[in-house]
């Protein structure tokens, strides 16, 4: 039996596969109504543990345009979950005979990975908390590729709230992976967080440099711009003078909405968030830039841009249907790709019994009580760094234990570095290590 | 490109088109299960901003009987709308690639027109507040046509709450348009409102006369009956003596439910509303009358009539499926009509910037904050009368301004009458006119 | 016209029909994706008056795998029902043209029978309060039949809460009907209720005897086991000594979840409910027993059994799809059965006007105000016993009246026994009889 493939993270697809999917999506998009035999007889189930009408309708449209059937559970909370059923059991039942593919939306980070571990059919992550939403990212990349014919080497401005938005973080990693140049123009106080910058540096070799974005006009006036070129850390310095890299031509502006619930500052009035209008888009470097937005928008893009040919945000949303058609058809075995799949992540290890080291309280490893298979990913050996196998958040490591010797060691000690990964256990502090029956290593 | 056709109001269809739709509906209804190839590959989206299970299921049944797919958003409020997205944006996204037709239900009057302005695919109004619900009206007319073979010249009794019911008002206009004679037998205190009577008079030449409905028995005992013959204002007087026109033979009785939330009077007990039973239907003039009701009913029709062959209210509901099939197939381009479409409403003009003159607080022009294209319809030049372009409610006009001269004038002045419609602006009073920068006309 | 068939109770199917359905289900289950032409053009409507996502999805999957369409009303309460429409009217409308079959879930016992009385299309009971859920029972029986090749003569252990669970009661009756031997191992205090035992005795000749279940180990330690062999009341005594019938080999264990809301005893802590794990299943008599559960489970089956080949609870849930496919295809006229249908229940009589004798306050005869056709089933003449025609609950009989003589009599009098069933009327006491205009029989 071939292994079931899932789409939990965009990293479950290789660059080659993504490029092939784009070609197929283009073909599908030419006449959406002519593919209704491709998945005839197949059924997808939308299991939505939090409402997201737009995402759900996009997937359900894609499945129906492929001729497949759809089962809808738009508000899963109200039903069996309320009777205390574990996510693992729900997934095992639905994947048993009800559906041939599961589209899962869940408020907890890592939920889609947990589901994939137990499902008998492919699982597509339609958003797991603030973790991943890979088809949204694919849709954004695809829209850029359709407009520009390529992604590598494009100069893409990311504007607005770069701190909290899951969408923007996933998109930035994907841009870096495809070799696009990234210009961050954050709303003041909403800069890209340090852990995103570190991953960009460590995984994609993208070193941020100061950028002179004064030619971008109002978009950039409120904050310090930053420029990153992945995989070419040294080349960039050639273009940089004391004012920073000069941004004078942009291929795309990706605008984000404020995460309102986090944005409102007490005592301050609302509405200071940046707003793009015809004036802001009139500056030279943006003359040929397409304007993107993940939608829904509120006021951050004015209506006076809606009919501007550079505004592609509605097209971008529409393109979610053909790109999701390719994902569904591929995972259902009705669309073969010739590119190699990605090399599987070999650095994943089981967490020894004891305690869950994940610090993220909304991670599925904490919100689900049963049927968990705790694991961690070893992201770096020196310094020792690890991430939760479900939600990818970094595990705070105070001390390091070895599950065979039952000793603990300082995190950066030579001994800690030599422990086999499948024997590693992480402690916040000595109290926790002792409580779990570990003792200090004898000299 | 041909213009997209919508069904926002029943006036979007010509009489000839409606007659043709009835012929097709009859054909569809003969075997509902044999049309499943007609719209194969097409998708309709039910966007319901307030719940209405019956209407939604009727549309979704019609679409599936045509072989099409259905996307369901039965409770739109809970999702993206809650994130503050405008109706216009929602419609632009859904009509981009998700669906080939939108069925919209919305609590605000005029919402369907707003949606139609932005949609890339046909919009069908499945009820916008207390404004219009054209497929319900078509269903009622169709049921009458199926039972009697024609509509023109029929004598139709409308009984019950004629004051608040949207259904009844739309049905009355449609009966008048088709040339049926209307007998109003309202529950006391729930007479037809003045603006409906005026429209019947002005648009259809239907002058109400006193009617002697004593032969109708209990149905008519509580109130003064009124009789109207459209388009023949003078002919009627021939039949009328001092007791009024004598109602002695009826083709159909259309019973309405009380709009309970408005009906309960403080301090009074419930349940005085009229009730039709076998006894009430036993009088001579009703011997061959069919009994209709838009459903759901409560107690206004007794169960003892359910098996009476004249009771067609359940058939009437069932006929909603074939009639909706014709609408969907037609708007999706799979059912050609040979009749001419109606002449488009040329009396619609943009409201100049300033303030929204619509007095209806639940009109979409007030409930939606963004992406509005305010307009008014000029319903009469002398006296000057205008209606909101979204909700059709009459605009209260105190003073009239000209947007080029920036002067205001008395409503009924000769100058006011000469202002070009596209320069007209309406003010409640002088204070408002002045606040908007208009001044009194110099003599 | 042939009479419409419904599936309100599992007794609506004969044993022969059920055996044939199992054969078809097996055929369907071999490749679920190859039957998509069988019900093309047909539509089922899920009318759920209380949420039950799992059941709904199972039915909707079955219908779509047959190529049919689905209408979903997952939360019926919020809509027309809230406007006060009777269930009968809702069913008449939906069955008029919207759907070709209705799947009904309702919180009131007897709701499915009421629906069937008014529906123009087949009604499938998907759970009516704590009354019946016939497709769940069929699914359980089918799973047993698939695993063992037969049902007759199997030894089936029923463990846990045998007091409150509708699922378990229906399953026990069905096992008795098929001639399986039943071993009850209740959680202490949650023994099978007396009325279930009586029905087993009276309808299936199953006399409970004490059982020695000590070889079953922990499962049986908390309570007194009971053994029943249907239709062989005398044979059993041969095997019984003073310790009771010895249980030393079991074909299946059917575990139930605690009905938590009823289970929590004030002042006591939660979690004492029995839990099956690898240890409990390791005893000799269970070596070849399959482990079943209706799901969702909480902690009553440990995860360490999930990969045990005897654990078939996930397969059991999956088999709900093919078995429901057979029911839908059969009722829609697309799957002919050669076995005779059951003899219809001739002992059903109309309740004379007056008062509703059903004592069950959640019976649909009490929760629905309109369009009821009250009836009773005469379950025994001596002693006189009757059950509600909707919810099947026993009617408390104080006195017995005759609707022609208008006299009442003591329940067990010779006169009472001679009243014709269609003249019978039941009174709680003399006060009620007198209030309804009945008088004591003259001597």
Closest CB to C57: pick one of A78, A94, A370: A94
CA–CA separation, A113 vs A132, rounded Å? 11
pLDDT in tens, A75-113: 887 444 455 789 999 999 999 999 999 999 999 999 999
pLDDT averaged over chain B?
Answer: 90
Tokens 């994907």 appear where? A174
Question: What does DSSP assign to residue A266?
Answer: T
A286's enclosing H/E stretch is none
| Residue A319 contacts B, CB cutoff 8 Å | yes
CB contact under 8 A, B98 and A53: no
Work out the minimum CA distance from A305 to partner chain B, whole angstroms. 12
Confidence of residue C125 (pLDDT cuts 50, 70, 90): very high
Portion of chain C with pLDDT greater than 90, in percent: 72
Report whether pLDDT(B424) > 60: yes
**Angle formed at CA B375 by CA B372 and CA B377, multiple of 5 degrees:** 150
Preceding peptide of C315 cis, ω within 30°: no
* pLDDT for the residue C382: 83
Confidence of residue C241 (pLDDT cuts 50, 70, 90): low
pLDDT in tens, C45-67: 999 999 999 999 999 999 999 99
Portion of chain A with pLDDT greater than 90, in percent: 72
| Residue C92 contacts B, CB cutoff 8 Å | yes
More confident residue, B268 or B8: B8
CB contact under 8 A, C100 and B33: yes
Q: Are C161 and C187 in contact (CB under 8 A)?
A: yes
Report whether pLDDT(C78) > 50: no
Report whether pLDDT(B124) > 70: yes
Tokens 């439910």 appear where? B257
* Chain C residues closer than 8 Å to B260 by CB: 84
CB contact under 8 A, B43 and A61: yes
C33's enclosing H/E stretch is none
pLDDT in tens, A281-328: 999 999 999 999 999 998 899 999 999 999 999 999 999 999 999 999
| Residue C322 contacts A, CB cutoff 8 Å | yes
Report whether pLDDT(A164) > 80: yes
CB contact under 8 A, A43 and C52: no
CB contact under 8 A, B97 and A52: no
| Residue B41 contacts A, CB cutoff 8 Å | yes
* pLDDT for the residue B396: 94
CA–CA separation, B427 vs C47, rounded Å? 51
* Chain A residues closer than 8 Å to B73 by CB: 53, 57
* pLDDT for the residue C188: 85
Overall average pLDDT of the B410-439 stretch: 92
Among chain A residues, the shortest Cα distance to B48 is held by: A53
* Chain B residues closer than 8 Å to C94 by CB: 57
* pLDDT for the residue C379: 87
pLDDT in tens, A42-79: 999 999 999 999 999 999 999 999 999 999 999 887 44
Overall average pLDDT of the A250-279 stretch: 74
| Residue B297 contacts C, CB cutoff 8 Å | yes
| Residue A78 contacts B, CB cutoff 8 Å | no
Confidence of residue C337 (pLDDT cuts 50, 70, 90): very high
Among chain A residues, the shortest Cα distance to C314 is held by: A93
Overall average pLDDT of the A334-359 stretch: 88
Q: Which of C68, C58, C138, C78 is nearest to C101 (CA)?
A: C68
Closest CB to B80: pick one of A74, A296, A320: A296
Confidence of residue B165 (pLDDT cuts 50, 70, 90): confident
Portion of chain B with pLDDT greater than 90, in percent: 72
* pLDDT for the residue B443: 58
Overall average pLDDT of the B309-313 stretch: 98
* pLDDT for the residue C260: 61
Overall average pLDDT of the C214-229 stretch: 84
Confidence of residue A330 (pLDDT cuts 50, 70, 90): very high
Work out the minimum CA distance from C77 to partner chain B, whole angstroms. 10
Query: Which of C40, C64, C301 to substitute to test the interface with A, most A CBs within 10 Å?
Result: C64
CA–CA separation, C301 vs C291, rounded Å? 9
Q: Is B30 helix (H, G, I), strand (E, B) or coil?
A: helix
* pLDDT for the residue B239: 57
Among chain C residues, the shortest Cα distance to A48 is held by: C53
* Chain A residues closer than 8 Å to B42 by CB: 33
CA–CA separation, B132 vs B135, rounded Å? 9
3-state SS string for C399-442: EEEECCCCEEEECCCHHHHHCCHHHEEEECCHHHHHHCCCEECC
Report whether pLDDT(C234) > 50: yes
pLDDT averaged over chain A?
Answer: 90
* Chain A residues closer than 8 Å to C298 by CB: 83-85
Q: Which of B368, B331, B389 is nearest to B24 (CA)?
A: B331
Work out the minimum CA distance from A328 to partner chain C, whole angstroms. 16
Work out the minimum CA distance from A105 to partner chain C, whole angstroms. 16
Could you tell me where the beta strands, DSSP code E, fall in A110-264?
123-128, 155-160, 181-186, 209-212, 225-228, 245-246, 252-255
Residue B388: alpha-carbon gap to chain centroid: 15
Closest CB to A40: pick one of C36, C57, C315: C36
ipTM computed for the complex: 0.93
CA–CA separation, B220 vs B187, rounded Å? 8
The number of residues in chain A equals 443
* pLDDT for the residue C1: 46
Strand partners, B387: B377, B394
CA–CA separation, B41 vs A57, rounded Å? 16
* pLDDT for the residue B78: 42
Q: Which two tokens stand for residue A379?
A: 């992201």
Overall average pLDDT of the A17-21 stretch: 98
pLDDT averaged over chain C?
Answer: 90
* pLDDT for the residue C299: 86
Half-sphere exposure of A382 (CA within 13 A, CB side): 7
* pLDDT for the residue B79: 42
Q: Please, what are the domains in chain B?
A: 10-130+320-331 (3.40.50.1370), 155-250+252-288 (no CATH), 348-440 (2.30.30.20)
Report whether pLDDT(A270) > 80: no
CB contact under 8 A, A89 and C296: yes
Q: Is B367 helix (H, G, I), strand (E, B) or coil?
A: helix
pLDDT in tens, A214-228: 888 888 876 788 999
Tokens 């030393």 appear where? C248
More confident residue, C410 or B443: C410
Q: Are C28 and C335 in contact (CB under 8 A)?
A: no
* pLDDT for the residue B235: 58
Counting one residue from chain B and one from chain C, the pairs whose CB atoms sit within 8 A come to: 77
Overall average pLDDT of the B200-229 stretch: 87
More confident residue, B161 or C27: C27
Find which of A189-203, C144-158, C363-377 is predicted with most confidence, using mean pLDDT.
C144-158
| Residue A314 contacts B, CB cutoff 8 Å | yes
pLDDT in tens, B172-192: 999 999 999 999 999 888 899
| Residue B98 contacts A, CB cutoff 8 Å | yes
* pLDDT for the residue A236: 55
| Residue C3 contacts A, CB cutoff 8 Å | no
Find which of A347-356, B228-237, B413-422, C139-148 is predicted with most confidence, using mean pLDDT.
C139-148
Q: Which two tokens stand for residue A38?
A: 């491709």
């Amino acid at each position: 039996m071939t292994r079931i493939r899932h789409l939990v993270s965009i990293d479950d697809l290789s660059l080659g596969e993504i490029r092939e999917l784009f070609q197929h999506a283009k073909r599908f998009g030419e006449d959406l109504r002519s593919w209704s035999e491709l998945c005839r007889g197949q059924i997808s189930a939308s299991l939505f543990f939090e409402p997201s009408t737009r995402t759900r309708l996009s997937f359900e449209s894609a499945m129906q345009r492929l001729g497949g059937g759809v089962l809808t559970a738009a508000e899963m909370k109200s039903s069996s979950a309320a009777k205390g059923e574990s996510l693992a059991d729900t997934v095992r039942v639905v994947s048993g005979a009800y559906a041939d593919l599961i589209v899962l939306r869940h408020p907890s980070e890592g939920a889609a990975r947990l589901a994939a571990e137990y499902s008998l059919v492919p699982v597509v992550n339609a958003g797991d908390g603030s973790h991943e939403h890979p088809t949204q990212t694919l849709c954004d990349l695809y829209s850029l590729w359709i407009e520009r014919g390529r992604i590598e080497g494009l100069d893409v401005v990311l504007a607005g709230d770069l701190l909290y938005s899951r969408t923007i973080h996933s998109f930035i990693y994907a841009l870096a992976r495809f070799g696009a140049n990234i210009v961050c123009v954050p709303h003041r106080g909403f800069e890209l967080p340090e852990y995103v910058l570190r991953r960009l540096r460590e995984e994609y070799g993208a070193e941020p440099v100061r950028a002179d974005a004064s030619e971008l006009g109002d978009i950039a006036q409120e904050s310090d711009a930053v420029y990153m070129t992945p995989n070419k850390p040294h080349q960039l310095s050639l273009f940089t003078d004391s004012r920073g890299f000069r941004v004078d031509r942009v291929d795309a502006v990706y605008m984000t909405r404020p995460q309102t619930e986090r944005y409102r500052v007490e005592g301050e009035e609302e509405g200071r968030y940046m707003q793009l209008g015809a004036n802001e888009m009139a500056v030279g470097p943006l003359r040929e830039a397409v304007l993107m937005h993940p939608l829904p928008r509120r006021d951050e893009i004015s209506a006076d841009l809606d009919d501007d040919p550079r505004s592609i945000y509605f097209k971008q949303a529409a393109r979610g249907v053909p790109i999701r058609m390719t994902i569904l058809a591929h995972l259902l075995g009705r669309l073969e790709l010739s590119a190699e799949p990605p090399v599987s992540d070999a650095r994943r290890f089981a967490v020894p019994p004891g305690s869950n080291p994940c610090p993220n309280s909304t991670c599925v490893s904490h919100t689900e009580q049963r049927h968990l298979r705790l694991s961690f990913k070893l992201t770096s050996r020196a310094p020792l760094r690890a991430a939760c196998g479900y939600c990818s958040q970094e595990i705070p490591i105070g001390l390091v234990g070895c599950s065979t010797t039952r000793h603990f060691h300082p995190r950066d000690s030579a001994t800690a570095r030599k422990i086999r990964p499948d024997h590693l256990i992480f402690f916040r502090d000595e109290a926790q290590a002792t409580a779990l029956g570990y003792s200090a290593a004898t000299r």
